[in-house]
Amino acid sequence: MITGVRYFLKVALARAYVRIIGAQRELSWIIGDTLLPFLSVAAYVYVYRAMNAPPEYTGFVILGGIVVTFWMHMLWSMGMQFFWEKEMGNMALYLMAPLSRPALLLGMAIGGIFMTSTRAIMIYVASRFLFGIQFNITEPMMALAVSLATLLALYGLGMMLSSLFFIAGRGIFYGMQVMMEPVFFLGGFYFPVKQLGMMVATAAAAIIPVSLGLDALRQTMFGAYDSALFTPKTELIALLVMGVVFVYSSIVILHKMEAVGRREGKLFLKNQ
């Protein structure tokens, strides 16, 4: 296998290029990925306003709606990518090509972040125009650091799930549908996760990086310290640790998946 940092980056950028360009060619995906999440966000906004909730709660919902787009993309476009590649017959080509498999995952993540960022910006602009939402960032450097750490942890999780979902086969579709709403609830997408209680919120944050990221961003953008789970610094450290663990685990699982596929002459671990 050809190695080297330059070659690694070229493979990653080549894989990212496909996602970035391909996403712009299918405009219906942009509408579906932007309009539908925004309708859900708008519903929560109207509920909070009908209850005369503090204005920052409307901001909580908008921020949660933006993060939802990243979560959904990570789950479907990252987690399911290798499974779909196998279904289309491309997975064997990936394994035969003299390239770094982790570079493929990195390229998928880079392309995914770009794709989802455009949709997140569209949701923010629409919210700003329709609801007059403004983010008053009190700690810009901390907000930036938390955002990057959240993306690292989130897409590291997606890289790890891509191999796990590939191994699981078609049955994972049912698992994804079952865990969708519990993750929305435990992740605190539309309310401060601390409202679940410290024990439940801490347990959720230990496995769902979005919980920590949202909690820290709400503190740095809205000053929501009373409803905070931990301090932004603590949550930043936790996100970095989770990101490193997820990325490392994804590489180990990917090599394991490849080794089994080569040894047994098939690209899955059990009959599907």
**Which tens digits make up the pLDDT trace of 99-122?**
777 787 788 778 878 777 777 887
Q: How far is CA 121 from CA 19, 86, 141, 211, 269, in A?
A: 18, 32, 19, 21, 40
Distance CA 82, CA 60 (A): 34
221 assigned to some structural domain: yes
Distance CA 214, CA 241 (A): 17
16 assigned to some structural domain: yes
Cβ neighbourhood burial of 96 (10 Å; 0-12, 13-18, 19+): exposed
Predicted local distance difference test score (pLDDT) of residue 237: 93
Predicted local distance difference test score (pLDDT) of residue 240: 93
270 assigned to some structural domain: no
Distance of alpha carbon 219 from the chain centroid? 20
Predicted local distance difference test score (pLDDT) of residue 260: 67
Distance CA 175, CA 144 (A): 33
269 assigned to some structural domain: no
Nearest of 205, 182, 188 to residue 75 by alpha carbon: 182
Domain with 139, as residue range(s), is 5-264
Distance CA 150, CA 91 (A): 29
Q: How far is CA 35 from CA 42, 77, 103, 131, 212, in A?
A: 10, 18, 32, 15, 26
User: Which letter does DSSP use for residue 75 in this model?
Assistant: I
> How many Cβ atoms are within 10 Å of 183's Cβ, its own excluded?
18
215 assigned to some structural domain: yes
Residues of the chain with pLDDT under 70: 1-3, 22-34, 79, 89, 167-171, 173, 224-225, 260-272
Strands (E) across the chain are located at none
160 assigned to some structural domain: yes
271 assigned to some structural domain: no
18 assigned to some structural domain: yes
φ and ψ at residue 134, rounded to 5 degrees: -135, 135
Predicted local distance difference test score (pLDDT) of residue 28: 67
| Count of structural domains, the chain | 1
Predicted local distance difference test score (pLDDT) of residue 270: 46
